[in-house]
Structure 1
Amino acid sequence: MNLLLPPEVRSQKTAMELALSQRLGAIAPDLGLSTTSLERLQTEGSGPLLWEICRLVKADLTSDRVWLLFVGVAGLFPEPDEVRSLQRQLELVATAQVHRVVLSACRDSAIRYRSHLTTIRVVREQVLVDVNFSARTGHNSGVQRVVRETARRWSVDVQPQFVVWTDNDRSFRDLTTAESDRLLAEGPILDGCPITARTEIIVPVDCILTMIEVPQREECASLSALAEFSGNKLALVVHDMIPVVSGDMVSFAESDRFVEFLAVVKHADRISGVSESAASEFQGFIDSLSSQGLTGPVVTSVPLPIDTPVAISRPGVSPNKDPLILCVGSEEPRKNHHAVLFAAEVLWREGLRFRLRFIGGGSASFIYAFDRDVKSLRRAGHTIEVLRNVGDDILLSSYREASFSVFPSLHEGFGLPVGESLALGLPVITSNFGSTAEIASDGGCLLVDPRDDLAIASAMRTLLTDPACLARLRAEALARPRRTWDDFSRELWAELVLPILEKKNE
């Protein structure tokens, strides 16, 4: 019958059969098929091999084996309902028909996501690190900085396997050279586009998957199934619960994505907060899982360092310019930048002279209102700069130039701009609760109620008019105990990954 098909169709069918045979051969040893049987069945074509593997899974029907079988047949990671459905069908079907059930269960996803030509490389008993967003884009906010600084050090010290997601968001693959450079190279970070002609996917078996950034919404269902069913262990760095706890200050899409992420978190094995405050937020969520009959992951914390991306010394502020007040952070409601603008206007009307510089991007909906207020103050003759999409060189030179920084955030997981300022001996005005108050406990900060605009203005006035107070805070900042990205990356591995490795080796 194949001879009646057009040549291009016959070629496509042959390629599909070869890819399926390769995938089945890759997973067969982990499903109990001996090497001798595998070699024999591979000479008979993909059909007999598929039936034998399906028979073995049905004979020992556990969720991790069902998960791996789905991956082998479909060429992508299943979602939770796909694993549950296939396991139920395998329980009920007669052994003689088991391969038909599996093909039917996997067909729709394989067609929809075009994974029929995918091949597999099984990775066993390794630590994988998902670095998808940081490797594939040039975005460089706080979370991406944590990912890149940690990955650079882990790549040397512990050498895990870094992975990103395929373009269909349904499986892992290797990084391209450009993505590896974007993740690991120091210096300017070039933006990129997801160009991936590769058809080989990475399938973890008995591995530890570590994630430092929140996954994209499209990846969460497959991640949730991997965590719940695959037998791999999941270790997560968690930054904050802002999209839920402070959902009124973020977009609906961000809250929606985070709810999907929480379905991954509840099946993780271990999570580490970037501050005690962040860990406490997630512990509250984990404690609520008992109502679902789940215990959830172990919660710990490894606070981010008080360090800068590049080691530099901080020269004095030039006496020939009005003092610079620096405000670093994305332009979104919780960062409270409108309060900083108000406080600045109060002080300018009092006759104080200073410059104000904001560094950070944001979505168009949030930027519009902010830019409108900035333009109004500029028309009144005040010096305000707004810098977006700038590199670390501009950021660090701004820290050097500033008299102090202002960070009155309404909700933070950590607050990297506070830590970076203090690491350079730059005093900070910041919020008197949560993670920023944790950071401030070692000195160098003035704490304010970020919901009190006049309190922010008062603190800014103090540092503009009281040289002794400013000098004292600078001395406190420089005297703080130093904790570097090297320290953080070592502690994170020891606290997040090593306990899982040790438990696996018991």
Structure 2
Amino acid sequence: MIYFDVTKTGPAKYSSGLTRVSHRLLDELASQRCTAVVWKKGGWRNSETGREITFSKARNEWLLTVELFSEGEREGFREFIESGKCKLAAVFHDAIPLKYPEITRRNSVLRAPDYMKMLSNFDRILAVSNYSANDLHEFWRFQGIAPRATVERITLGANFQKYTPRASAANTPAAANPAFLCVGALEPRKNQNFLLDVCEALWDEGLQFEMNFVGRVNEEFGEPIKSRIKTMRKKYRGLHLHESASDDAMLALYTKCRAALFPTIAEGCGLPPLEALWMGLPCVCSDLPVLREYTNSGGCVTAPVNHAAAWKAVLRRILTDETELTRLRSEVLARPLPTWADAAAQVRKSLV
């Protein structure tokens, strides 16, 4: 039996990457002995009935969490971890709050050390990339921690929605419309300001295209980016911000755009590029080791972080070179992509 932690992600109001990982994994695991639970008043309860959960290690029960936590947020949680009442597993996303504290929400920075220390007492850690697994090991070494946990890598699913078929040559339009898509919260880490600089230069050259940003506004860092987009729209009418796009709206954007752009500074995995590939879109991504774990398989172009000339050249080529666009689209449609069913199978195989 797997008890799946939805304390925060169950009632989440916006679809962050972490929330999507939680919902999609639970969707795939729920059909086979998996129960959603929440941490409440120092213990675990069934998320639907509210009934208290009594664990038994003899029954080979696992508590699996995709969420971020600390003792300050979940009073008594450290004691539960150390109690040995059941086996513990966690999906580990990244160490970004420690590596980039200046552009990370304050609460995340404060929580990260406690969270990563507590993970060392779990039985199994499922890292979303080799890069994030290495960061976790490095943190433990720096802290002088000998972890009890075994760290394994899982591959997240690319399929955008549970019932959305993968794009194929038969069902993917040619995307003649010159439009780009960038998905991610408006914040410095996602680097939208840099992309705005690049687009502004291309528009001033006379190129005509749409630039669609999709993502919530980070409450600590995002307002200046939103304000800049609003100001630039007075001059560049092809610029659009979609703060809360439904899945149907996202599907429409995927259909109309030529490529998805991800100028990000740091990622733990990079779920939006995978979802864009599923929908048949070529991707232009920052040349980061973590993204190279799957961008090297085709349909993606990488450019150095914050290298304006390189990014301008790539976007100009995608806008004007139909042969290049066709080549990239062919690579996207031909390459294998992981599904959430695959990810769930990896999880079940690990939790034995």
Q: Same fold (TM over 0.5)?
A: yes
- Equivalent position of 1:204 in the other structure: 55
- In the alignment, which of 115, 128, 138 is matched to residue 3 of structure 2? 128
Per-residue deviation, 1:390:
2.0
Structure 1: tracts of 5 or more residues without a match = 1-125, 178-197, 499-506
- Equivalent position of 1:492 in the other structure: 347
Structure 2: tracts of 5 or more residues without a match = none
Identical aligned pairs, as a percentage? 28
Tell me whether 1:335 sits opposite 2:190 in the alignment: yes
Tell me whether 1:311 sits opposite 2:170 in the alignment: no
Per-residue deviation, 1:231:
4.1
Residues 401-440 of structure 1 aligned to structure 2 (within 5 Å): 401-440=256-295
Give the Cα separation in 2 of the matches to 1:296 and 1:454. Answer: 47
Give the Cα separation in 2 of the matches to 1:377 and 1:358. Answer: 13
Change (3 A) 1:261 1:155: same
Per-residue deviation, 1:428:
0.5
- Equivalent position of 1:227 in the other structure: 81
Residues 44-83 of structure 1 aligned to structure 2 (within 5 Å): none
- In the alignment, which of 150, 172, 184 is matched to residue 298 of structure 1? 150
- In the alignment, which of 231, 239, 247 is matched to residue 93 of structure 2? 239
Residues 112-191 of structure 1 aligned to structure 2 (within 5 Å): 126-156=1-31, 158-166=32-40, 168=41, 170-176=42-48
Contact 2:179 2:210 in 1 (8 A): yes
Per-residue deviation, 1:335:
0.5
- Equivalent position of 1:104 in the other structure: none
SS at match of 1:374: helix
Per-residue deviation, 1:317:
4.5
Question: Which protein has the larger Cα radius of gyration, Structure 1 or Structure 2?
Answer: 1
Tell me whether 1:258 sits opposite 2:112 in the alignment: yes
SS at match of 2:347: helix
- Equivalent position of 1:268 in the other structure: 122
Q: TM-score, normalised by structure 2?
A: 0.91
Change (3 A) 1:142 1:229: same
Give the Cα separation in 2 of the matches to 1:414 and 1:267. Answer: 23
- Bigger mean CA deviation after superposition, 348-357 or 376-385: 376-385
- Bigger mean CA deviation after superposition, 435-444 or 347-356: 435-444
Change (3 A) 1:409 1:446: same
Give the Cα separation in 1 of the matches to 2:112 and 2:210. Answer: 37
Give the Cα separation in 2 of the matches to 1:405 and 1:217. Answer: 38
Which has a greater percent of helix?
Answer: 1
Contact 1:227 1:233 in 2 (8 A): no
Per-residue deviation, 1:220:
4.5
1:356-384 alpha-carbon deviations (Å, 9 max, x no partner): 10111032332211122112211213321
Residues 436-475 of structure 1 aligned to structure 2 (within 5 Å): 436-475=291-330
Residues 364-379 of structure 1 aligned to structure 2 (within 5 Å): 364-379=219-234
Change (3 A) 1:172 1:364: same
